């Protein structure tokens, strides 16, 4: 153990993937020193050499989780009834009462100097950012399976609204603010099409792709691609953690899969990775939890 302490004091670990010094304390197991990069989620392993105190001087990033290693999540299916129950029971830890800091920081990237945009919120819940963007003069459209969530959005913001059926979708309803600039569809997202909701100049996807069952991601991506205009900007927030330790949702979505889903239709750029680890994630059995923001830029 003394040798291990000496190693820690002698040699800082750097992530060869992200290039940042690690801030997670390493642990030792079977002659290896193991830690996790807080920036990119890379698992790094340094094998202890035969001679005490010797270590390889380059971090081994071969443990980076990729699309082929999403653990048991690959077969995980969350039903519509389960989502409805979460709202009924108030089990909505995914809802944020404040505007998301990444949207505030990168709002100009989403808007790209444009005004009066049509902005889509997939699986919107009662996201507070919808009113924020509508107050700026944009038209906001959301889709949410829970009628309770939709009604709570209007109630929380004291917004009068009207309710009407959606003729093209059996059982669906559309809730629209009396000002006309916020329209929320209460139905399955897969029932939507551009003929019903039109196309969008921007998308804020936080808590949507990561909530979609892994087996439905291709279907979801194809729908989203069909709903965006050329030259649109799509801000996508995913999460990164060890999927072998938590079944989801939110589900782990590796960058390789984002490229597979969207790469043929748009330019993809990772804008920022943020350590979002909290006690809630610790209770899930996780050691780290990152939010990762991507810009999907659809070009003409």
CATH of the domain at 159: 3.40.50.150
Task: Tell me, rounded to whole angstroms, the distance of Cα 104 from its chain centroid.
Answer: 16
In this structure, the answer to whether residues 25 and 116 fall within a common structural domain is: no
Report the distance separating Cα 275 and Cα 289, nearest Å. Answer: 6
Residue 119: CB atoms within 10 A of its CB come to 24
Higher pLDDT, 21 or 238: 238
pLDDT tier for residue 61 given thresholds of 50, 70 and 90: very low
In this structure, the answer to whether residues 168 and 95 fall within a common structural domain is: yes
In this structure, the answer to whether residues 52 and 178 fall within a common structural domain is: no
In this structure, the answer to whether residues 31 and 147 fall within a common structural domain is: no
Q: What is the number of structural domains in the chain?
A: 2
In this structure, the answer to whether residues 94 and 54 fall within a common structural domain is: no
- pLDDT tens-place string over residues 157-167: 999 999 999 99
- Mean per-residue pLDDT over the chain, rounded: 83
Q: How many CA atoms lie within 13 A of 173 on its CB side?
A: 13
Report the distance separating Cα 215 and Cα 286, nearest Å. Answer: 23
In this structure, the answer to whether residues 179 and 287 fall within a common structural domain is: yes
Fill in the DSSP letter of residue 252: B
In this structure, the answer to whether residues 110 and 245 fall within a common structural domain is: yes
In this structure, the answer to whether residues 178 and 238 fall within a common structural domain is: yes
Residue 50, Cβ density class (10 Å: 0-12 exposed, 13-18 middle, ≥19 buried): exposed
Which of 63, 88, 111 corresponds to the end of one domain? 63
In this structure, the answer to whether residues 157 and 277 fall within a common structural domain is: yes
Higher pLDDT, 6 or 57: 6
Euclidean distance between the first and the last CA atom of the chain, given in angstroms as a whole number: 60
Model-level pTM?
0.79
The pLDDT of residue 118 is 99
Report the distance separating Cα 201 and Cα 173, nearest Å. Answer: 23
Look at residue 84 and tell me whether its pLDDT is greater than 70: yes
In this prediction, residues 245-256 reach a mean pLDDT of 96
In this prediction, residues 4-31 reach a mean pLDDT of 39
Which of 41, 63, 85 corresponds to the end of one domain? 63
In this structure, the answer to whether residues 57 and 180 fall within a common structural domain is: no
- pLDDT tens-place string over residues 100-140: 999 999 999 999 999 999 999 999 999 999 999 999 999 99
In this structure, the answer to whether residues 59 and 89 fall within a common structural domain is: no
- Which residue range is the domain that position 6 belongs to? 2-63
The pLDDT of residue 159 is 99
In this structure, the answer to whether residues 35 and 165 fall within a common structural domain is: no
């Amino acid at each position: 153990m003394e040798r291990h302490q000496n190693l820690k004091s002698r040699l800082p670990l750097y992530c060869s993937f992200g290039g940042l010094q690690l801030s997670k304390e390493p642990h030792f197991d079977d002659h290896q020193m193991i830690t996790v990069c807080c920036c990119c989620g890379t698992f790094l392993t340094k094998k202890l050499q035969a001679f005490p105190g010797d270590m390889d001087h380059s971090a081994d990033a071969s443990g980076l989780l990729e699309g082929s290693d999403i653990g048991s999540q690959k077969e995980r299916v969350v039903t519509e009834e389960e989502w409805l129950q979460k709202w009924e029971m108030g089990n909505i830890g995914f809802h944020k009462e404040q505007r998301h800091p990444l949207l505030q920081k990168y709002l100009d990237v989403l808007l790209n100097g444009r005004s009066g945009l049509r902005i889509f919120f997939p699986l919107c819940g009662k996201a507070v950012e919808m009113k924020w963007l509508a107050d700026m003069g944009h038209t906001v459209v959301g889709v949410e399976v829970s009628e309770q969530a939709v009604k709570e959005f209007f109630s929380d913001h004291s917004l009068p609204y009207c309710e009407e059926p959606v003729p093209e979708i059996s059982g669906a309803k559309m809730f629209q603010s009396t000002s006309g600039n916020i329209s929320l569809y209460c139905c399955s997202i897969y029932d939507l099409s551009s003929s019903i909701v039109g196309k969008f100049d921007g998308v804020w996807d936080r808590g949507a792709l990561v909530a979609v069952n892994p087996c439905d991601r291709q279907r979801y991506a194809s729908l989203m691609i069909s709903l965006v205009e050329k030259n649109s900007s799509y801000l996508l927030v995913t999460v990164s953690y060890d999927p072998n330790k938590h079944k989801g949702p939110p589900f782990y979505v590796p960058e390789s899969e984002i490229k597979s889903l969207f790469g043929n239709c748009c330019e993809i750029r990772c804008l920022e990775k943020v350590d979002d680890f909290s006690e809630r994630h610790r209770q899930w059995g996780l050691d780290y939890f990152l939010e990762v923001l991507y810009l999907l830029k659809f070009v003409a």
